């Protein structure tokens, strides 16, 4: 099934296991991602990275695509537990951390840009919880990426 980006003005990407795969044999995939990002920017798409990775700049610099993103959002986790419905929780090295939901982060960006309709946006992420969060709260077209193979670039139409 094709995924059309023709009518999309804003494209949200996750980093880990979506744009970047942690496998030494992924050179071809990473080169394809680099070309995709450059082409999308050439087509005047707004590219936004939303990642829970604490060092996304390091990876984006390594891939030489950092300058193509309009926004890079990587909220730091909180080692504070409250019952905030706008948070998700994850254990890292045995410590429970709190992160803002991706739907909240995307909503803030859309509010800042103004005038964009949800139909002009698309979100790519490997985590099903993030996909459900964004799709159910913002009604944005959300594509779950297979974390073993990344974005299936051959299915994208732009």
Per-residue pLDDT at 97:
60
Considering only residues 112 and 14, tell me which one the structure prediction assigns the higher pLDDT: 14
Q: How far apart are CA 146 and CA 68, in angstroms?
A: 24
Residues 6+ apart with CB under 8 A from 47: 11, 13, 37, 40, 41, 68, 69, 70
- pLDDT tens digits along 21-64: 998 788 999 999 999 999 999 999 999 999 988 889 999 999 99
Q: What is the pLDDT of residues 81-103, one digit of tens each?
A: 444 445 555 555 566 566 788 99
78, 52 Cβ separation under 8 angstroms: no
Q: Which domains does the chain have, with CATH numbers?
A: 3-75+102-157 (3.40.50.1000)
pLDDT of residue 23: 87
The predicted pLDDT at position 85 comes to 45
Copy the structure tokens of residue 68: 């193509």
What's the whole-number mean pLDDT along residues 67-86? 68
**Residues in Cβ contact with 67 at an 8 Å cutoff, skipping those fewer than 6 apart:** none
Nearest-angstrom CA–CA distance, 116 and 37: 21
Cα end-to-end span (Å), the chain: 14
How do residues 106-158 score in pLDDT, each as one tens digit?
998 999 888 678 899 999 999 999 999 999 999 999 999 999 999 999 999 99
Q: Is 41 exposed, middle or buried (0-12, 13-18, 19+ CB in 10 A)?
A: middle
Which run of H or E residues covers position 57? helix 56-63
pTM of the model: 0.88
């Amino acid at each position: 099934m094709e995924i059309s980006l023709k009518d999309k003005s804003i494209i949200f990407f996750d980093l880990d296991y979506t744009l970047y795969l942690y496998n030494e044999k992924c050179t071809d995939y990473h080169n394809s991602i680099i070309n995709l990002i450059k082409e999308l920017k050439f087509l005047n798409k707004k590219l936004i990275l939303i990642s829970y990775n604490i060092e996304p700049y390091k990876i984006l610099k390594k891939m030489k695509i950092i300058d193509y993103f309009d926004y890079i959002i990587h909220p730091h986790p909180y080692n504070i537990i409250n019952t905030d419905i706008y948070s998700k929780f994850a254990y890292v090295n045995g410590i429970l951390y709190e992160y803002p939901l991706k739907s909240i982060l995307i909503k803030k960006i859309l509010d800042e840009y103004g005038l964009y309709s949800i139909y002009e946006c698309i979100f790519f992420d490997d985590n099903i919880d993030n996909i459900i969060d964004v799709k159910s709260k913002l009604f944005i077209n959300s594509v779950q990426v297979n974390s073993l193979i990344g974005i299936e670039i051959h299915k994208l139409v732009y």
